[in-house]
Amino acid sequence: MKKILNEPSAYVDEMLGGLCVAFPSDYQLIGGRVLARKGGAVKGKVGIVTGGGSGHLPVFLGYVGQGLLDACAVGNVFAGPRVADCVSAIRAADGGAGVLTLYGNYGGDRMNFDMALEQLESAALPLSSVRISDDVASAAIAERDKRRGVAGMVLVFKVAGACAQAGGTLQQVTAVAQKAVDACRSIGVALTPCVVPESGRASFAIDELEIEFGMGIHGEPGIWRGSVKTADDLTDEMLDLLLPELNLSKGDSTAVLVNSLGATPHEELFIVYRRVAQVLGQLGIRAVMPLIGRYATSMEMAGFSLSLMPLDAELEGLLQAPADCPFWKV
């Protein structure tokens, strides 16, 4: 294992410490592992809380900021946050207008947020919850509630955060978050594994000339494993899976996110986006505010994901509304 660290057991806490020192006007740590907006909850605004394992920066904690999230409960690398931290994050985001918990559809995250919400039932705090499930490789459309949340959660965070920033009620923010989840689809491909610091070994094994198509951001098995393909062939296969579920027609608009899983450079992502733009252009579909870069990673895994979210006037306006955090400014 070659990593820049001290003790593996201190990896997450030292990362959080460095993040807060680097951006003291944006972030503050509350309790053990809760990252919140500096200055606390915004009075009268619906709070939005997420949570999840470390190792995915900027997801999850990186999107705490204006027009985005208000607090994040932070877990170990690839592990869900503790129940107590979920409770603290919800309290930290409470500005008096209710709190939405918005997180990826993973067993540990579901269980701990559910327990946190149960603990707060008697707190006279209006609460709601939306789970993000955009990964088409993880379950068939008929079992969409079993799909994982991957890079598409960045688009959902943006839409929900903009609605809350504009003064939306808890019911409105929850509804638009669910609308974005229902619209969004993602698929990824992995070229290499990553190393979890506390284990000190690769998350999975793959031959040098192989790829895993549809792999999850924690190394969950994909749809197939085989020989490396060209960028255009991979992109076309991804679009062949995504587009049939989206019902996009000529004249429609969609958000596009081409996301590095960690090690894949921007140059290769732009090769992919070039092909995405070609195909969408041939179909008469407009790409709105395309995002190309590292938005939801898997440590140092090489590979990328592609997310599409069809846009109506409401979603497009919220996607393009101002937002500001250390990792993303709109």
Catalytic residues: 56, 218
In 3D, which of 81, 40, 45 has the Cα closest to residue 61? 81
The C-alpha atoms of residue 113 and residue 328 are separated, in whole angstroms, by 26
The C-alpha atoms of residue 223 and residue 188 are separated, in whole angstroms, by 10
For 198, the token pair is 């506390």
Cβ partners under 8 Å of residue 183, min gap 6:
246, 309, 310, 311, 315
The C-alpha atoms of residue 193 and residue 213 are separated, in whole angstroms, by 13
- Are 41 and 93 contacting, i.e. CB atoms less than 8 angstroms apart? yes
The C-alpha atoms of residue 44 and residue 67 are separated, in whole angstroms, by 14
* Identity of residue 176: V
In 3D, which of 154, 153, 163, 184 has the Cα closest to residue 310? 184
The C-alpha atoms of residue 241 and residue 186 are separated, in whole angstroms, by 9
